[in-house]
Structure 1
Amino acid sequence: MENFKFAFDAFLRQELERDELVLQLETLLKQTPNVYTVIGTHLTMLRQAKRLSTEDYSTLHSLIEPYEKTRLATAPRRGSSHWGNNNPKSTTNGSAPSFDWTRPSKWLNEEIVLEKGLIIRDNYRLEEEVGEGGMGVVWKAVDLIQEAGQARDSHVAIKFFSQDFKEHPDALKALVREFHRYKRLNHPNIVKAHGLDRLGSTFFLVMEFLKGIPLKEFIKDHKNGLSLNKAKPIIKNMAHALAHAHQEGIGHLDFKPDNVFYDPDTKTAKVIDFGIARPLKQSERDETRFDPGSLGALTDAYASNEMLLNLEPDTRDDIYGLACVTYELLSGK
């Protein structure tokens, strides 16, 4: 790592030619392919700090583009897991140790500083932080391709997962499962997910940007509650979303006002955050061998007694949560 950073610092001080830096990067990538993520992060940070020209950034970034095209699920390459380690220690069979793809907390870890204007993967530009939870933060961002194509709305929401979440041994499984649940649940009252990716060891989920406010805030603004007539469209939207999830064999299992987004202008509610959702069929749960509830994200106030007793998930768990949210909507309490 130090060898690489010394070379980069020398380049920035104009003590090293760009061609020499390119050669060193190419050599490092051949020896240790997985370090492309850290190179990408470092380049992005330097670009945002205006320490690299557009030409230098493009030239250096082009070196890692072939590696970035590797799918998330691709089996890891073998090689060193440390910068500048040209002679990685061999395992007992004489081969280099494999990259632990399933443990993000063990990856090369260069802290990503999220800030307005930061370019992510050359595809998204961060605008503002719009939410924070136990698993990470959510930013409003611009999809640069959509913006270039003059789309009517080029905004997306990007959910960056926290260091604490990464420390969980099943973090990667949780993210992949959550992403596939979103792709499976195509419904007008459920938020859409566009992609799952990572920058260095930081995972992020790119999602539909929702206009409006969390239902929790909407309820706070109506302390005396809504009439049944005004609340009915919101209740129907939530019920339709949960019914669709149940038809697809998925229980949300964390249904609460924080996980519903409401747009007062269009009077449309959308359900979000299927982070601890689980298959309702026992056979599917056996196949995954992973329980999202083990991440400890359950909200007791909206959980049924059966959930608190850690019994098998059921559609009625979500119905109970929906009843709690409906009560708050009508009473304001």
Structure 2
Amino acid sequence: MTMQLLHNRYKFEKVLGQGGMGKVYLMHDTNDQKLVAVKECVTKNDFELIARVKREYYFMTQIEHPFIVQATDLFELQGKYFIVMEYVQGITLDEFIKTRKNRIDFLQQLKMSRDICKAITVLHNNGIIHRDLKPSNIVIQENLQPKILDLGIAKSTNEELTEITKTGHMVGTPSYMSPEQIDSTKNTLQNTDVFSLATIFYQFFSWEQHSPFYADGLIQTIDKVHNHKLPPVITKLSNVEAKSIVLSNLLVKALKKDPQKRITSVEEMLKIFDNIIGENFEAIDEKMKKTKNYERFFGEKTSSVAPKNSKKLYIQATFLAIFMVIVLLTASNFLWRTNENTEQQMRDKIASLEKTLRATKGKTSKLLEQVKTLRIHNKSLESNKNDHLQSVIDNLLNPLGDYTKGRQTYLVLSQLKILLFFREHWKPQHLNKMMLALRYVLDQSYKEQELYLKVDLAKTAWRVSGEAISYAAKGEKMYFLECFLEVCFCYTPLHAAPFSVKTIKKHTELVRKSKLNGFLSIRVSKDTPKEALEKLPEISHKYYLLADYYDEQQRTSQNRKMSIRCLEKALQLNPLQPKYIQDMARFYNKLFKLSAFMEQEYYEKSKKLQSDGKKICKVYTRLLPIFQKTLERLND
């Protein structure tokens, strides 16, 4: 590039990079006195390439959006075409992923992804499919806002979308292309960009250096795009929470190989990102209920599949449980199958002999002897099968005590889940070994801060304790019953579950003798008398209910003081209460202090607190009805 002005206007500054058709320069626009980027396009008189350059310039002038780069000029010089664009300061997303890991948090990643979706949605709404989305075509500015570059192979939705040029070169970057875009025999739909974006986001959230479909050779890459199913991105996240579960489900649907089964548009992805960022859990639930790997807390099944906490405890527990069940069942499959086949043969033979015996009216002693022998043999087979099952259960129980003492939550959780598969073969001696682990899991459900891990811990304790009542020794049944009732009361959605109703009905006499029996009839409603609440056992939850009672009364300094005292008492009784209880206690405390102001000043100062309170309640309203009522009051 010579030092003279290009096109009598643009002064060379430096080379910014190398594109597919030529270099990109930083130049100074002497007319407008600003820096611009000038893209050199070597077309070599190829009419198709020339048309592509002109089409790219046309697209870049048609759309004005802060997240899409703008073009200002196009000219031809010495057989080369030049597109003049706004100069965007920043680094490509490709460089960002390689150099900025751990410098931004998960929420910032979500917002950046949402902004990228906004830009592509604008393109689609203007009838443009990008078709070359990849991290190197997205610049991240200093304020973390994106700029979408390179519309060189973009197509209008009213054009015929062919993927191969006349020269036979593939258009696009295979490791970010959708299967149908690679396969030129298929029509490319608008959601080809959905697949490309999902691939980018998968790489971005997992902080991988390359596309998840990257391979050493072109053929291997194409094969990976067509045939390789990626593990859910949640398995690669270091901090798993409700937001990341929805994100993982979103990418699973966006990475479907079949475009007909894939998310239909980037606009739909944008809406889901907005819901995640805004913590719109109602909308999130609607999306997640449509996927196979999410189970609502209010459902009947116990094997929740939602992962949680910073060490991915839940994912490890689930996968470990599945793996161990497969290993155990595979190991015993041959023996069981052999036993079952042999038993069936025995039963058939016994039936045949008995039929013959009846026909001969019992006169043949030889037949009687054969029947007796076969029955003894059959009983022996059944005994061997039961012995084998008992051995499997013992092997599962042996390490459980060490896992509990070592506070290895995910291992304890996985062992209990596996043991539930064999519940029909539990014996009292097995349940003795499970007591400590059950109590540990229940206590962890109170301490755990991540909502979905909390739910899974509680549901596992709920199911194990409920099943154990029937198999425990007489003196230990009450222990398991009270663990069961404690879960039902502390996590009220489980109280109404069919399994709870069935279990309580089955053990009615035992329930009546329990000190927690009073909890079953109490309901947290506005007309619950204080006297009924005060009769509840002396555990922390009693004082949460009383705090709520005083808060619903006339807004006086005395009632607020009583509400705070009850919350403090609850925390004293159980200092390991989960974060949502502590959040509400702090919220009520601040609200109480504001009541010292004059009425007008109080209402003005409490606006922000009301907003904080609503946010807390929306997150935790599923667990305790207190928060639903508080939310209703805050919305009044």
TM-score relative to the length of structure 2 = 0.31
SS in 1 for 2:95: helix
Q: Which has the higher contact order (CA 8 A, sep 6+)?
A: 1
SS in 1 for 2:37: strand
**Structure with greater Cα Rg:** 2
**Counterpart in the other structure of 1:78:** none
Runs of 4+ deviating beyond 6 Å: none
User: 8 Å contact 2:163–2:182 — kept in the other structure?
Assistant: no
For 1:183, the aligned partner's letter is: T
Distance across 2 between alignment mates of 1:257 and 1:232: 16
**Counterpart in the other structure of 1:268:** 145
Distance across 2 between alignment mates of 1:225 and 1:136: 33
Distance across 1 between alignment mates of 2:119 and 2:194: 12
Q: CA deviation at 1:134?
A: 1.8
**Counterpart in the other structure of 2:517:** none
**Counterpart in the other structure of 2:170:** 296
- Alpha-carbon displacement from aligned partner over 1:169-203 (angstroms, at most 9, x marks no partner): 41221111111111122211100000110112111
- Alpha-carbon displacement from aligned partner over 1:138-184 (angstroms, at most 9, x marks no partner): 0000000122xxxxxx000000113xx42534122111111111112
Change (3 A) 1:293 1:234: farther
- Alpha-carbon displacement from aligned partner over 1:238-282 (angstroms, at most 9, x marks no partner): 10011011111110001000110111x2221010101001112xx
SS in 1 for 2:118: helix
Matched, 1:145 2:23: no
**Counterpart in the other structure of 2:451:** none
Q: Of 276, 300, 316, which aligns to 2:191?
A: 316
Distance across 1 between alignment mates of 2:147 and 2:26: 17
**Counterpart in the other structure of 2:155:** 278
SS in 1 for 2:191: helix
Root-mean-square deviation (Å): 1.9
Distance across 2 between alignment mates of 1:292 and 1:128: 34
Q: CA deviation at 1:225?
A: 8.5
**Counterpart in the other structure of 1:166:** 44
Q: CA deviation at 1:220?
A: 0.7
Q: Of 273, 285, 306, which aligns to 2:180?
A: 306
User: 8 Å contact 2:93–2:140 — kept in the other structure?
Assistant: yes
Distance across 1 between alignment mates of 2:188 and 2:139: 24
Distance across 1 between alignment mates of 2:171 and 2:121: 22
Distance across 2 between alignment mates of 1:319 and 1:203: 31
**Counterpart in the other structure of 1:36:** none
Distance across 2 between alignment mates of 1:272 and 1:293: 21
Q: CA deviation at 1:221?
A: 0.5
**Counterpart in the other structure of 1:14:** none
Superposition map of 1:1-333 within 5 A:
114-115=1-2, 117-147=3-33, 154-162=34-42, 165-166=43-44, 168-223=46-101, 227-263=105-141, 265-280=142-157, 284-285=158-159, 294=165, 296-310=170-184, 311-333=186-208
Distance across 2 between alignment mates of 1:177 and 1:187: 18
Change (3 A) 1:268 1:141: same
- Alpha-carbon displacement from aligned partner over 1:99-157 (angstroms, at most 9, x marks no partner): xxxxxxxxxxxxxxx14x3310111001000010221110000000122xxxxxx0000
- Alpha-carbon displacement from aligned partner over 1:47-97 (angstroms, at most 9, x marks no partner): xxxxxxxxxxxxxxxxxxxxxxxxxxxxxxxxxxxxxxxxxxxxxxxxxxx
Distance across 2 between alignment mates of 1:293 and 1:206: 27
SS in 2 for 1:121: coil
Distance across 1 between alignment mates of 2:179 and 2:205: 23
Question: What stretches of structure 1 of length at least 5 have no aligned partner?
Answer: 1-113, 148-153
Distance across 2 between alignment mates of 1:285 and 1:202: 26
* Higher share in helix: 2
Question: What stretches of structure 2 of length at least 5 have no aligned partner?
Answer: 209-636
For 2:107, the aligned partner's letter is: N
Distance across 2 between alignment mates of 1:231 and 1:202: 39
Distance across 2 between alignment mates of 1:192 and 1:296: 26
SS in 1 for 2:57: helix
Distance across 2 between alignment mates of 1:317 and 1:279: 13
Distance across 1 between alignment mates of 2:159 and 2:11: 37
Distance across 1 between alignment mates of 2:207 and 2:116: 17
Q: CA deviation at 1:296?
A: 3.4
User: 8 Å contact 1:254–1:277 — kept in the other structure?
Assistant: yes
For 1:260, the aligned partner's letter is: I
Distance across 2 between alignment mates of 1:327 and 1:269: 17
Q: CA deviation at 1:219?
A: 0.7
User: 8 Å contact 1:192–1:208 — kept in the other structure?
Assistant: yes
SS in 1 for 2:193: helix
SS in 1 for 2:82: strand
User: 8 Å contact 2:112–2:146 — kept in the other structure?
Assistant: yes
Distance across 1 between alignment mates of 2:100 and 2:145: 17
Distance across 2 between alignment mates of 1:189 and 1:211: 13
For 2:192, the aligned partner's letter is: D
Q: CA deviation at 1:228?
A: 2.3
